Structure 1
């Protein structure tokens, strides 16, 4: 009887144990399956991130190797590094394109066996890479007839790509590595920037020691040609067109200073770097001297470079650079637009060689109307002229803090009812000897006390 009762009890216990083991096994299998699935998804995400990086710098391809022309693939090459490597602690620029090399390039006979590469996504966002053969084909072998500009930076050629689009190809001169520096800086400064008043960088070419930048083509030359070239007895640049050019330039600079992080200080604002399209819209170009300035920095100390006559006095004397240095250069450019005179002109009488000094003296002596370019057929209204003269004087204020920001300058240029009275009343209350001119331009502007220390500036 006891044995009969114990047998069902043992069987029940065995069934319970088996059920527990089965449930446990099922849980283990499900857990393993879940971990495997999660690991697989994580691995796929990492792989996808490598293939389609959305960061602020493109993927790195350190070497350009040789392939056939028919198999050309644009390369996207850059790496983090210090652009100028200057022991004097120049501003940090983060993208280094210097790793792009073509060690296997060979030139033989009448043609070149050039480099090309296997690269990843050519549309990474920094423009595309062009091979030397593509650039040579576009510019007809860098034909002299295709030259549209040249200077200390190199030569600019007009080119037509295989898809029919017209471009400007800047062939940088490699003077003591300067081409490499300008190449890196321009790529970092405007490689991904898109603004209607900034020249767009379409792509690049880097083979061996040669560095080239491919820009959108702007078909109406530069401002310097229209201000100082032979345009006849009447300038096609009317007052309204000149103000449109000034406003467009100000908007481009305001975007560089206030719309980007880190902000970009152009460092070489001048009339030859303001390109014009067929509708006289301005496009700021040539970022080879640009500096990046993080939000935590008020200025950066760097080697003085720029163009004689446009360089801010405090930058020329101390090397301390910030966006207000560009504001000063813009003020000189605005004077140039108003007067049609070059910032430095040794062909003029001694008192008129320096545009800034002559401009201040004319304003102080209440001869403002005589400042207007005589080639302008219809002169501006007195109110319009006085408003722009006031902007000029503010931009070149020797007190850096008193210079307006570029965004404020845009507002002043665009606003017809510029608040002369209230603002100037406040200025006079605070500072009886104000450095700003009033609506009658009665406040004299003393000539600058600083010497022409801009000899350190770069002539371009």
Structure 2
């Protein structure tokens, strides 16, 4: 028994070292969303592409939704709405390989066109695809032949002419104009309609008609095909079957123009992996996502980019020592007991024992060396003492105790270092100041009105160490996890991505004041964790998602009660903002009001959330200038020009939310002409010509009275006034919406008005014939290149 234990202890150091070098294999990176089909035949379908609802990225442009026809011997993968047959998809290169039929004209013996075939026009506009200008060429075969293609307006884009020589004078070479010609295509081409120019034979055309071919072609084709198949072009000139050729399409996320614009709206940002970055598209507007250096996989999924284990790859620089994989990189060190450069053969040499002893005394050895030379011998001594207790009792004990003490000293140093780091972050994040505020509030430093300071371990335990399946959302300021505290309370834990440069006391004071907000339509801040570099915030959990997904999701609105629900949500959201502006002390400005920041519980009660951009209302002019934050489409134009966030900035953003509720259109929509991309501008121009009713969702329009429609239109236009001074206060907006709600469902003739003033207001609303007037002042008019102000 003693001998067996001694053998185990003797082998233990080697076993531990080996375990440190071997890491369990990671599962292969996920390429599709959970539960979605990942292949069509032998073609892998990586997200953002997908088959079926919820499996592809749906951002208002087409192309990512695919369908697989399994009825063919080899299943066909095609794009929904565009009919392009796909043979390969690549996330890394941003390319799609597809099939396209050539356009062919065949002539009879009299020279007349006897047969035409081909794929016709290919329309890719409003999609995520463009024809690749670097990987494709327009090719014209046969002679005499002028092949070209046009754009959507019918204008010439690119083409070339091929002429044949007599056979005895045929010239060897590539596709340079003799029986075959090629031309480059410009960038950003999203429409292809090919034509062959028929050139009737005339007198004096000996060059054109010295030699002719029966069939003539024009087609787009991958450049690589042309270079490898040119020697076989003769066989295509007289074939009667359809000719299908490979082409390359460049794809990108194109609902915004570039990375800078995309990063402003983190809710819609396509680069989901934390280990990814954005690159601008090189062909047309848009952007793509790539995994960071040292990572590979799918950057469009949350955990899509995985660390590359360079130590297992032969193509990496050679390592003749101990290779250790690290996140995004690796290290190559000489084995224990040697030193030198492990990246070249014979670069590691045995260490001088006196030098290492000096390092041990001065405490400058690394962790691996400390274990091998101190802890392992200590275990070895224990094993030998158990086998030969008497003969080694004096000498071995004297060797073991110092080694054992060094080991525990090392562990103690590491533990104290971790404690000091946590304390440092706690102080930098204002923890001490926050505790003082809480203590002065109710005499304790642990809780103030339900507000708690959590440890990092508390939140790790609540989220299963921030497991991927606990993620419930991603916002502009971080990732939100669903957590369950020890007392079984379900919470939402926000793990921020960025470090705010706010002063310590200011941040702590804002956290304390936000914790005191107690309103049924505001998400409650329950606590925070300050012992990490970027503080984590703990909120009450709201179960039914965001208003954005309720409006634009596939679930739809309930027939007959859609407008009632939308109006109630608008009233509740407005009351929450009015409370923060008027009743909180000091007043609180939200700074990023949008439908994605309004949550809905199981009863569809609205709760305003995400105070990542919120600020306490400044008390002096010097503090009013702030870095512009928020979301494109909702930002107050005055705020953009002055960098001064005010309560009227929230009013403008709320006006956009009202528009989004009523129209069920997104605040920014990049399909169609440029003037239609902004919902606000589109609505203002429609009001100007009296066509704003046509923009409303048809279901909502059918449920509201004409008086309610005009009243809410007037309110929206006041909220969206370019001048902040002309906008109503949030309190007035909430009151006005509540009055409209009562009027809609309790007409004036039957209403039980609370006051004569309210009754008179409702009567005025019913009887007023609202006239919309525009004067050259504030609101931009893009058609006339002038400015206008709205009034009634």
Shorter-chain TM-score category?
0.5 to 0.7
Distance of 2:599 and 2:713 partners within structure 1: 23
Structure 2 residue corresponding to 1:247, chosen from 553, 560, 571: 571
Matches within 5 A, 1:59-458: 96-97=430-431, 120-125=444-449, 127-175=451-499, 184=508, 187-232=511-556, 238-294=562-618, 300-374=624-698, 376=700, 378-415=702-739, 416=743, 419=761, 439-444=769-774, 448-449=779-780
CA contact (8 A) 2:499 2:534 kept: no
Distance of 1:174 and 1:295 partners within structure 2: 26
The structure-2 alpha-carbon separation of the partners of 1:151 and 1:450, relative to structure 1 and needing over 3 Å to count, comes to: farther
CA contact (8 A) 1:158 1:217 kept: yes
TM-score, length of structure 1 as denominator length:
0.64
The structure-2 alpha-carbon separation of the partners of 1:200 and 1:287, relative to structure 1 and needing over 3 Å to count, comes to: same
The structure-2 alpha-carbon separation of the partners of 1:445 and 1:234, relative to structure 1 and needing over 3 Å to count, comes to: farther
Distance of 1:195 and 1:281 partners within structure 2: 12
The structure-2 alpha-carbon separation of the partners of 1:251 and 1:233, relative to structure 1 and needing over 3 Å to count, comes to: closer
Instruction: Choose 241-250 or 410-419, whichever is displaced more.
Output: 410-419
The aligned counterpart of 1:109 is: none
Q: SS at the partner of 2:671?
A: coil
CA contact (8 A) 1:365 1:444 kept: no
**Shift, 1:142, TM fit:** 1.1
Deviation readout 1:173-204 (Å, 9 max, x if unpaired) = 13576898996575145121111111001111
Distance of 1:181 and 1:298 partners within structure 2: 18
**Shift, 1:375, TM fit:** 5.3
* Count of aligned pairs between the two proteins: 335
**What residue ranges of structure 2 are gaps of 5+ in the alignment?**
1-414, 417-422, 435-442, 749-757, 783-792
CA contact (8 A) 1:218 1:276 kept: yes
TM-score, length of structure 2 as denominator length:
0.39
The aligned counterpart of 2:193 is: none
Instruction: Choose 150-159 or 296-305, whichever is displaced more.
Output: 296-305
Instruction: Choose 333-342 or 173-182, whichever is displaced more.
Output: 173-182
Distance of 1:411 and 1:369 partners within structure 2: 23
Distance of 1:422 and 1:374 partners within structure 2: 27
Deviation readout 1:212-270 (Å, 9 max, x if unpaired) = 11110111111111112222586797111111111111101111111022211111101
Distance of 1:398 and 1:302 partners within structure 2: 19
Distance of 1:265 and 1:233 partners within structure 2: 31
Distance of 2:640 and 2:505 partners within structure 1: 21
Distance of 2:763 and 2:622 partners within structure 1: 32
Distance of 1:218 and 1:382 partners within structure 2: 35
Q: SS at the partner of 1:283?
A: strand
Distance of 2:474 and 2:560 partners within structure 1: 24
Deviation readout 1:346-368 (Å, 9 max, x if unpaired) = 12432321111111111122223
Higher-helix-fraction structure: 1
**Higher Cα radius of gyration:** 2
CA contact (8 A) 1:327 1:403 kept: yes
Higher-strand-fraction structure: 2
Q: Which has the higher contact order (CA 8 A, sep 6+)?
A: 1
The structure-2 alpha-carbon separation of the partners of 1:373 and 1:296, relative to structure 1 and needing over 3 Å to count, comes to: same
Instruction: Choose 295-304 or 347-356, whichever is displaced more.
Output: 295-304
The structure-2 alpha-carbon separation of the partners of 1:375 and 1:140, relative to structure 1 and needing over 3 Å to count, comes to: farther
CA contact (8 A) 1:269 1:330 kept: yes
The structure-2 alpha-carbon separation of the partners of 1:233 and 1:290, relative to structure 1 and needing over 3 Å to count, comes to: closer
CA contact (8 A) 2:483 2:491 kept: yes
**What residue ranges of structure 1 are gaps of 5+ in the alignment?**
1-65, 68-74, 84-95, 101-118, 426-437, 452-460
**Shift, 1:423, TM fit:** 8.8
The structure-2 alpha-carbon separation of the partners of 1:291 and 1:178, relative to structure 1 and needing over 3 Å to count, comes to: closer
The aligned counterpart of 1:432 is: none
The structure-2 alpha-carbon separation of the partners of 1:125 and 1:241, relative to structure 1 and needing over 3 Å to count, comes to: same
Distance of 1:177 and 1:206 partners within structure 2: 15
Q: SS at the partner of 2:737?
A: helix
Distance of 1:318 and 1:147 partners within structure 2: 37
